A and B are shown apart, each in its own frame.
Chain A
């Protein structure tokens, strides 16, 4: 009889410990769910760029890759091409010649 009562007490104690553990686990889950709204912030930091051909590149980085001498030659080449295009328009003014394309790297 004493053994039966001892077993019963141990079972009740074990049940209490299990209930406390369950309660603690349930509280931590609810507190995690309170943090959930911050998830969009993480998305904002790293936007998905799938299927996008416009990859933002810092503008200050690209020009630095071209030596100044090359850049000046490109500017001069651009001026010559634009002047040639303008000459063509002045010779024979049409809408198409006014906005004709050139091979200048500044506009391509």
Chain B
């Protein structure tokens, strides 16, 4: 399994980072974390799928609306490394899913001891965050364009 967060690391470096984590099995239909809860761990998806949702009012009822899906190799919960360390989405497993949970404090200590590893992971994290930013600014402009067309029709 190749993880996007560990790109460019040697095998020994990857092993060193993964040794900090704990493998978790998330049963189908179970939340990994919820919107607003403290983010003290980030997760590497090993198997299955994670749905990232935000609440939306649909016909007077609050529904969790899909925002993104994460598949094996992808990172979930990078809010654990970014202040204010609170999850900004709800993560749920639609099927049995396996993740590796990496505690923030363990990562910080590891990065302090191995700055080269911390640097590579920080760059990989910037790629993950930057990609999401590009996707969502594109989706926002597309929705704005439609809103403008509806208003000027």
Contacts and interface: CB of A to CB of B under 8 A. Distances in A.
B142 A99 contact: yes
B65 interface: yes
Given A63-B59, A90-B131, A90-B135, A98 B141 contact: yes
Interface in A51-98: 63, 68, 71-72, 75-76, 79-80, 82-83, 85-87, 89-90, 98
Interface SS of chain B: helix
Interface residues of A, number: 18
A41 interface: no
Nearest to A68: B59
B1 interface: no
Interface string B110-153: 00000000000000000000010011101101110110000000
A107 B149 CA distance: 11
Contacts of A85: 138, 142
B69 to A, nearest CB: 8
Nearest to A75: B65
Interface of B: 56, 58-59, 61, 63, 65-68, 131, 134-136, 138-139, 141-143, 145-146
